[in-house]
Amino acid sequence: MAFQTAGPDPSKVALFFLLCVCAAAQGSYRGFVRFSQVQEPTQRAESEELWFTQKLDHFNGADSRVWKQRYFVNEAFYKPGGPVFLMIGGEGPANPAWMQTGTWLTYAAKLGALCLMLEHRFYGKSHPTKDLSTDNLRFLSSRQALADLAHFRTVMGQTRGLTNRKWVAFGGSYPGSLAAWFRLKYPHLVHASLATSAPVYAAVNFPEYLEVVWRSLASENAECPVLVKKASDSLVERLKDPKTFDNITKDFNLCSKLQLQTEMDSAYFLETLAGTFMDVVQYNEDNRDFEGGLGTNITIKVLCSVMGDASLGDPYARYVAVARLMLDTFSLKCLDASFNNYVRDMTNTSWDGPAAGGGRQWVYQTCSEFGFYQSTDSPNQPFTGFPLGYQVQQCADFYNISAEQVKEAVAQTNEYYGGYKIRSSRIVFPNGSIDPWHALGITQDITADLPAVFIKGTAHCANMYPARNKDLPQLSLARDHIFILLQQWLKQ
């Protein structure tokens, strides 16, 4: 079901990511979440962190090793006999703010639900192994995460007398996919699922992401993505002449002098600058009043306003202005666009390392399961210079995973879960038209019991955030429709 106003349907143009990792704190790096790593918010007293014993390897009976997984409980709305809502954590620290606010708690209050949130293995404080070595990361997968959820649900059902209650899984972004797959693979344990902004189809090359970025910018102003492309192309031309590097370093306020010794260096620099537009589009109009939100007023409208301001100079100068605006917004002294620094951080295997907040782990999952590489391998998008080869090379550099192995892993993921052809029941798939990830999700009903809720004009995970007076009417309608579905399903 689509909730939209008149206008073209972006979902028909292309069948195509962080934290939002919507059910977790926003993470970092180039997956679902792209902004600089956001620190986990201070926990409130009522969001006590609890610990659950899990097996390290659910698929090897001879391996008896265990570890402690973090989870949270909110019993404020529970009425005896009510359902159990399980929020699934994703590629970043589980955010206790979700235990205090969010649409799922509005539903819980109306339905008398007990609310639980389980942090994803290898993220946040849930450390199954002593470090993040590639050898240990083999225990990080969606399949192990689903087995964690299944065991957690079974034991919590037994210990809390909830075995016969109806459990509903909630998740947004990658956790949205997990919510759908939990219902798919463990239908005896979970009664229904809400899979928000869920990219259920794995793809090595995902140029459609940037195609949606173009259309989302154009929805604000048709000239906006054209100007971004002119700026990007102009920068690429400048990068061909080393004599320009000093000026580029100064223009973008780089932390160190620009050095382009390999194609990976230039690709990383170009992707870093493009990341501003990718981030803002993905989280456009993110709920800034929410404790787990991005906390910025930078929207598509703001970016296009800067790009359209001729008083700033040519498109390149406006591109510079956007970059500096983001530095000011996040109170950053300079922009670190060094690929060498990125490699250094990503290959640090310590739990105290700079990429341990989710970057090293999530990129591993893209290499070993999902792909999702947002390349410039399409003429219908604004940027240049970070092709698929650059993305996949990181798998070899960081984890010794070859391009062929990535391709095979992605094929296995779609074979195991079904991709777009998922077949189950009582799963609802909300997506927003502005969100680039909708291109890998379900945007049209599969069956009456596998409905899509396509929301015109909203971005990543919009329906999960608390309602606001300024919400689009179609977003409010979508939340109401999802609640009606939950009511119907809980009666079955």
CA distances from 204 to 46, 267, 391, 398, 411 (A): 42, 18, 10, 17, 9
Compute the distance between CA of residue 3 and CA of residue 476 in angstroms, rounded to an integer. 9
CA 92 from chain centre, in angstroms, equals: 10
Residue 225, token pair as written in the block: 């993505």
Q: Which residues contact 376 (CB under 8 A, 6 or more apart)?
A: 207, 210, 383, 384, 385, 386, 387
How many residues appear in the chain? 492
In this structure, are residues 67 and 128 in contact, taking their beta carbons and an 8 Å threshold? yes
In this structure, are residues 461 and 284 in contact, taking their beta carbons and an 8 Å threshold? no
Q: Angle of helix 224-238 relative to helix 300-307, nearest 10 degrees? A: 60
In this structure, are residues 281 and 294 in contact, taking their beta carbons and an 8 Å threshold? no
Nearest to 9 by CA among 433, 380, 460, 428: 433
Compute the distance between CA of residue 278 and CA of residue 294 in angstroms, rounded to an integer. 14
The H-assigned helical ranges of 208-314 are 208-220, 224-238, 245-251, 263-282, 300-307
Q: Which residues contact 242 (CB under 8 A, 6 or more apart)?
A: 260
The DSSP-derived string for 52-67 is EEEES-TT-TT---EE
Residues marked as catalytic:
173, 435, 460
For 483, counting Cβ atoms within 10 Å of its Cβ (0-12 exposed, 13-18 middle, 19+ buried), the class is middle
Compute the distance between CA of residue 157 and CA of residue 138 in angstroms, rounded to an integer. 29
Residue 426, token pair as written in the block: 């009582």
Compute the distance between CA of residue 52 and CA of residue 50 in angstroms, rounded to an integer. 7
114 sits in the region (left: phi over 0; alpha: psi -120 to 50; else beta) called: beta
Residue with structure tokens 């709920």? 287
Nearest to 299 by CA among 331, 333, 329: 329
Compute the distance between CA of residue 23 and CA of residue 89 in angstroms, rounded to an integer. 5
Residue 465, token pair as written in the block: 């955030």
Q: Which residues contact 12 (CB under 8 A, 6 or more apart)?
A: none
